[in-house]
Structure 1
Amino acid sequence: MYKQGDAEPILQLSGVHTHIGEYHILQGVDLVVPRGGLSVLLGRNGAGKTTTLRTIMGMWHASAGRIQFDGRDITAAATPDIAQASIAYVPESMAVFSALTVRENLYLAARNGPLDTQRLEWIFGFFPALRKFWNYPAGLLSGGQKQMVAIARAIVEPRKLLLVDEPTKGLAPAIINNLIDAFRELKETETTILLVEQNFNFVKKLGDTVSVMDDGRVVHAGPMSDLVEDRELQQRLLGLSLDSHQ
């Protein structure tokens, strides 16, 4: 298993199994997320990527194995406690409170009181549509606009770890470019990012490390640059070249 340097990783999964009903989804996941930067989780559909994120967040509990975050065992922790430990999660489903305005969605995500005006302006710089629709009910927004709200909610306050599932889904190319800029700036802060994504050109530009899942296990881990440069490895692990996806 690849580890970046000798520093303690911010997140480590060791032999994690997750059952959902009668289905055995994660079958011994070993995953190391180095502290700082952006780690990518790749794999074919059904490999277990989303289940891994949901298990980290305690939305589904591991049936075996151990999850450590920032030196603490969170394997059996409840989701609210995990969120309070400074982990934010952006699900693929673009979960927003549809009946609430964009402003109210962000205010609810601010755990430490009123929104920080300076940070809010920073978010508007990446997602200017949020300013335009500030007082609109989130349920009336397009899919891409809801995705902006979901991401903004996750970063409205500093977090130690940001888990993001398919953030570019439904976004126009111009907004994806803004998202790249946002993640690049987040990488310069104390926020570590674990990203599940199918837009390979997107992750090539951002990823520092990568883990590839197949059939509920991590089958490869290493620097993103190694995977990008090795077409044979891409074909073997993913069944395609990264260049074949735009």
Structure 2
Amino acid sequence: MPEPLLLLSDVHTHIGPYHILHGVDFSVPTGELTMLLGRNGAGKTTTLRTIMGLWQASSGRIRFDGRDITASATPDIAHAGIAYVPESMGIFTDLTVRENIVLAARSGPLDKTRLDWILGLFPALKRFWNLPAGNLSGGQKQMLAIARAIAEPRRLLLIDEPTKGLAPVMVRSMIEAFKALKASGETILLVEQNFYAASALGDNVVVMDDGRIVHAGAMSDLVADTALQQRLLGLSLDAHQ
């Protein structure tokens, strides 16, 4: 079998005196959407930040596209083709929507065909194209953050809780956008607390608890097993429909 696009092997991460990740092992296959689930404080965000080099792994290995990036600097990891959308979104609220997206295309002028594709994913951004990003709703800001991440082609998207705090109608819009991203062949590692959204999108699922991987497999298997949902996450899909 071909090597997965992203592979974490026995990754440990310390933040100051705190040991946050304890031997994390999982993979992200090319062209699929992998969900990273777990209760609050399980280590999901730390995992994304460690992959991105924002926090250095204390030990273990992170391989991306066959290359060891464990000790690589964040700019080098980004240049290799990984984009990260943090929970805080990281947009420039004083700049217009257009300026936010143009600035994200660091390699040169934004390709018009790609821009049309992005605006097709997130039509609201076109309506607010020349307005300050600070005027957008929470869901629209999240859409802008993702649009910035895909302003240029990326090999892997790391996205942290894109539906957090969003109204149900906006969650449904976000699900449809991610379905379109999947259909285009994007590889995505997505942290999500909304199990309904996770079940609608995930090809694969990795579940964390207390900085460790406690389950990995097909998302469809977890969706079908309410007892496993309850044991791993303290919830069931039926309660989140």
| TM-score of the superposed pair, with normalisation by structure 2 | 0.95
Paired position in structure 1 for 2:170: 175
Contact between 2:32 and 2:203, CA under 8 Å: does it hold in 1?
A: yes
Paired position in structure 2 for 1:3: none
The partner residue of 1:88 within 78, 83, 87 is: 83
* Segment drifting more, 58-67 vs 168-177: 168-177
**What value does the CA root-mean-square deviation take over the aligned residues?**
1.4
Amino acid at match of 1:202: A
Amino acid at match of 1:219: V
1:217 shift after superposition:
0.6
**Counterparts of 2:121 and 2:67 in 1: how far apart (Å)?**
33
**Counterparts of 1:196 and 1:12 in 2: how far apart (Å)?**
16
Alignment of 1:39-118 (within 5 A): 39-118=34-113
Paired position in structure 2 for 1:16: 11
Alignment of 1:1-246 (within 5 A): 6-246=1-241
1:175 shift after superposition:
3.3
**Counterparts of 1:159 and 1:58 in 2: how far apart (Å)?**
17
Contact between 1:227 and 1:234, CA under 8 Å: does it hold in 2?
A: yes
* Segment drifting more, 117-126 vs 146-155: 117-126
**Counterparts of 2:231 and 2:173 in 1: how far apart (Å)?**
32
Quote the sequence identity (%): 73
Contact between 1:47 and 1:213, CA under 8 Å: does it hold in 2?
A: yes
| TM-score of the superposed pair, with normalisation by structure 1 | 0.93
Tell me the alpha carbon deviations over residues 142-197 of structure 1, each in whole angstroms, 9 at most, x when there is no partner: 22221111011011222110011111123343333332232222223342100000
**Counterparts of 2:221 and 2:185 in 1: how far apart (Å)?**
25
**Counterparts of 1:175 and 1:238 in 2: how far apart (Å)?**
24
Tell me the alpha carbon deviations over residues 211-231 of structure 1, each in whole angstroms, 9 at most, x when there is no partner: 100010101100011111111
**Counterparts of 2:15 and 2:237 in 1: how far apart (Å)?**
31
Unaligned runs of 5+ in 1: 1-5
**Counterparts of 1:171 and 1:117 in 2: how far apart (Å)?**
30
Contact between 1:11 and 1:67, CA under 8 Å: does it hold in 2?
A: yes
* Segment drifting more, 53-62 vs 105-114: 105-114
**Counterparts of 2:168 and 2:67 in 1: how far apart (Å)?**
39
